Amino acid sequence: MHQLTVAQIAQGLREKHFSSVEITQHYLDRIAAKDDSIRAYITVCPERALAQAAAADARLAAGNAGALTGVPIAHKDIFCTKGVKTTCASKMLDNFIAPYDATVVENLDRAGTVMLGKTNMDEFAMGSSNETSFYGTPRNPWDQERVAGGSSGGSAAAVAAQLAPIASGTDTGGSIRQPASLCGLSGIKPTYGRVSRWGMIAFASSLDQGGVIARNAEDAALMLQDMASHDAKDSTNSGQPIDDFGATLNDSLQGKRIGIPKQYFGAGLDTETGNAVQAALEQYRAMGAELIEIDLPHTELAVPAYYVIAPAEASANLSRFDGVRYGHRCDNPTDLMDLYMRSRAEGFGDEVKRRIMVGAYALSAGYYDAYFRKAQQVRRLISQDFQQAFADVDFIAGPTCPQPAFKLGEKTSDPVAMYLEDIYTIPVSLAGLPAMSIPCGTSHGLPVGLQLIGRHFDETGVLQLAHQYQRATDWHTRTPAGLE
């Protein structure tokens, strides 16, 4: 049953080949048998899941089910879930039970999905390997000596190991696309503002965006449909109409213009990764698309600008964790200042502290103009690069990551090497564009991701581009050995 895609599960439920309780139990059993080694989940919710599944079966029987009613899913542990521990993979929130649901969770609950549990991630979503988690590092199901990527590494590991058919993720600078790439999955980061951030624990508010990690584009479209909503509780949530994201999946790509940024194929790109991506682009040409070289001249400034902006916003967002209102509190504080300082010193890990320090520095009175304002100006230039490119092309495509999954521990001592993992995903985040990673080949036997970028709010087009490729190829149907 765990080989089925979400679309197939939904069909099987409607045609009564199995019940939601049956498939939910099947996944819970698989998690119990295999997640000790994969570590995709921080929390598994058997009772809650089975109760949701029974309710879904009742809806299916009564004939008032939606497209995803009864389908098991997993949520990244960054989304608040009422009555279920929400940790953001931090010791700071190890004891936190959210009093309310994130809008994303509420939307998917309403749709009738069944939450199997909460997935592992980098602490407060800061990282590219999931090694900053307080709960241990998920393994890449393709090679358990390697990382699954981050920060949504648990969601990717869960879907790749078939411990969930699909999962939510969040992406600030690459955290959906990069783990999807490293685990051979299809991950979509929608346009900034498409999915509500309410109840999604904030890292960098001008960049954070919820999305989906799936086995293929069709499944991703189904889940995004129920995830996206208009939400007055998130002031940056867009009022754009919620499109039918799957509407054009089957439409031809004849005449579509795909821009290929020359800056995405330079030094630092692993040869086999580059070859796999080039072959995928040729496939698009064979399907009738036109490939056009484009220039995104400010690409190399994206990582430095991001590592000013994201930490600056994080330093402000994380000030709420003070040991007073919720989260970790130190023992026997001597006074208020001691309470703040020790609670935060004990509750946060090293990478989170590094970001808070960098961010507070960049925002400080003497350095604001030199760093934060400058980074915002660079961000504007990067957005303009994309705007100019999209005057000529419908989509942009290139690699998602410079190389396939790396070994556990390989980059932990070199933060800059880790930061460069997101060199192709960060520019897109700074511009707020929708983008997706889909599997397109292998390098050294490991999955390679192709990044597909669309105009603002053209998730429908991006999903079409992905689905057309998946109709012509079978990379998305491969699964890691030993986890059958």
- Is residue 429 among the annotated active site residues? no
DSSP 372-423: IIHHHHHHHHHHHHHHHHTTT-SEEEEESSSSSPPBTTSSTT-HHHHHGGGT
User: By C-beta, is 218 or 313 nearer to ligand GLN?
Assistant: 313
Q: How far are the Cα atoms of 154, 294, 327, 415, 425 from residue 169, in angstroms, in the given order? A: 9, 30, 22, 23, 15
Give the CB-nearest residue to ligand GLN.
Answer: 175
CB of 401 to ligand GLN, least distance (A): 11
Q: Which of the ranges 52-60, 88-96, 172-180, 373-381 carries the binding residues for ligand GLN, by CB under 6 A?
A: 172-180
CB of 368: closest distance to ligand GLN in angstroms? 21
- Amino acid of residue 89: A
Total number of residues that touch ligand GLN (CB under 6 A): 13
The amino acid that residue 31 corresponds to is I
* Residue 347 found at the interface with ligand GLN (CB under 6 A): no
Cα angle value 210/449/179 (rounded, 5°):
45
Q: What's the CA angle centered on 215, arms 214 and 218, to 5 degrees?
A: 80
Question: Shortest Cβ distance from residue 257 to ligand GLN (Å)?
Answer: 28
123 is a contact residue toward ligand GLN (CB under 6 A): no
In the bound complex, what is the minimum distance in angstroms from residue 70's beta carbon to ligand GLN? 30
**Residue 133 annotated to the active site:** no
Is 125 among the residues that bind ligand GLN (CB under 6 A)? yes
Choice between 306 and 469, CB closer to ligand GLN: 306
Counting contacts by CB under 6 A, is residue 438 touching ligand GLN?
Answer: no
Choose which of 138, 173, 274, 402 interacts with ligand GLN (CB under 6 A).
173
In angstroms, the Cα distances linking 31 to 25, 28, 155, 159 are 10, 5, 13, 11
How would you classify the pairing of strands 114-119 and 72-76?
A: parallel
Q: Does 362 bind ligand GLN (CB under 6 A)?
A: no
Q: Give the range of 98-106, 107-115, 169-177, 400-408 binding ligand GLN by CB under 6 A.
A: 169-177
Interface stretch with ligand GLN, choices 35-43, 62-70, 120-128, 467-475 (CB under 6 A): 120-128
Give CA separation, 360 vs 70, 336, 426, 432, in Å.
45, 21, 21, 24
Between residue 404 and residue 423, which ones bind ligand GLN under the rule CB under 6 A? 422
From 44-52, 126-134, 378-386, 453-461, give the range in contact with ligand GLN by CB under 6 A. 126-134
Answer yes or no: 37 catalytic. Answer: no
Among residues 19, 172, 225, 263, the one that binds ligand GLN under rule CB under 6 A: 172
325's enclosing H/E stretch is none
Please tell me which residue in 175, 186, 196, 443 is annotated as part of the active site. 175
- Measured on CA atoms in the order 305, 418, 176, 282, is the torsion positive or negative? positive
Q: Is 127 in the site for ligand GLN (CB under 6 A)?
A: yes
Q: 270, 404 in Cβ contact below 8 A?
A: yes
**Cβ proximity to ligand GLN, 24 vs 429, nearer residue:** 429
| Terminal CA-CA length for the chain | 11
Stretch that binds ligand GLN, among 87-95, 112-120, 167-175, 277-285 (CB under 6 A): 167-175
**What is the nearest approach in angstroms of ligand GLN to the Cβ of residue 374?**
19
Nearer to ligand GLN, 113 or 429 (CB): 429
Site for ligand GLN in 280-319 (CB under 6 A): 310
Alpha-carbon distance of 467 to 205, in angstroms, equals 30
Positions in 195-234 near ligand GLN (CB under 6 A): 203
Q: Does 128 bind ligand GLN (CB under 6 A)?
A: yes
Binding segment for ligand GLN (CB under 6 A), chosen from 39-47, 107-115, 170-178, 248-256, is: 170-178
Task: Estimate the crossing angle of helix 20-38 against helix 6-14, to 10 degrees.
Answer: 150
CA atoms within 13 A of residue 28's CA, in its CB half-sphere:
20
**433 lies in the binding site for ligand GLN (CB under 6 A):** no
Contact status: 151 vs ligand GLN (CB under 6 A)? yes
DSSP per-residue letters across 111-143: TT-EEEEEE--SGGG--SSSTT-TT-PPEETTE
Helix (H, G, I), strand (E, B) or coil at 223: helix
Q: Give residues 245-274 in contact with ligand GLN (rule: CB under 6 A).
A: none
SS3 label, residue 228? coil
Cα torsion 466, 298, 402, 185: sign: negative
> Closest CB to ligand GLN among 219 and 422?
422
Which one from 19, 20, 76, 343 is the annotated catalytic residue?
A: 76
Shortest reach from residue 351's CB to ligand GLN, in Å: 8
Name the minimum Å distance from CB 219 to ligand GLN: 21
> Please, are residues 419 and 303 in contact by the beta-carbon 8 Å criterion?
yes
**171 interacts with ligand GLN by CB under 6 A:** yes
Catalytic residue from among 128, 133, 151, 181: 151
Alpha carbons 11 and 197: distance in angstroms, whole number: 30
Element (H, E) at 324: none
> Where do contacts with ligand GLN occur on this chain (CB under 6 A)?
125-128, 151, 171-175, 203, 310, 422
Catalytic residue numbers read 76, 151, 175
